[in-house]
Amino acid sequence: MGQHSDLVDPVERTPLEDLATPPAEIELPTPARQVAPRANCQIAFVGTAASEPPRAEVHAWLAKLGPLTAPMTEGRVVIEAVDEDHKERRYRVRMDLTMPHGVVTVGHDHPNNGAHEDIYVAIRNAFRAGRRELEAYSLSRGAPAPVELPSSI
């Protein structure tokens, strides 16, 4: 009988030993890509404690809008808790993005930027409204809107 040296008698190894040494071909997942914060964008919190996850979400949206926000010289995003009662707390987001030839503002009065009970939905809604305003700004300056942005942004 031809025995192969790579075959192991099941009595000699326990299942725990098999789990202790992962096979060499398994790749560990790479860590999630972190978005570098834009140095020229201030993020303020009003009526709520400043928190890193919403701040990171704002920076991620700025990165998603890449070509539209590339000429931005300064930005200010204000995340505001509207109601003091924690049970009914709603958030709204205001953005003032200073561009070379003007300021693009998405305020609370924008039709697509209403207050929301989820801070991340409020940020998303503000940046989606901001995308439309940035596209209008870009078109008014004679530059075509970037086509590589997904329509879901």
CB 113 within 8 A of CB 105: no
> How far is Cα of residue 36 from the mean position of the Cα atoms in its chain?
11
For the record, the structure tokens of 16 come out as 């725990």
Cα distance between residue 151 and residue 54, in whole Å: 23
pLDDT of residue 57: 95
pLDDT of residue 33: 42
What 8-state DSSP symbol labels residue 110?
S
What 8-state DSSP symbol labels residue 98?
E
Q: Is 69 helix (H, G, I), strand (E, B) or coil?
A: helix
pTM: 0.67
Q: Give the CATH fold of the 41-140 domain.
A: Double Stranded RNA Binding Domain (3.30.160)
Phi, psi of 93, rounded to the nearest 5 degrees = -125, 135
Which amino acid is present at 78? Answer: V
Digitized pLDDT (tens) for each residue of the chain, 153 residues in all: 555 555 555 555 555 555 555 555 545 444 444 444 555 889 999 988 999 999 999 999 998 988 888 888 899 999 999 875 667 788 999 999 998 888 988 887 777 777 888 999 999 999 999 998 988 888 887 765 555 555 555
How do the domains of the chain map onto residue ranges? 41-140
Helix 119-140 with 52-64: angle, nearest 10 deg: 30
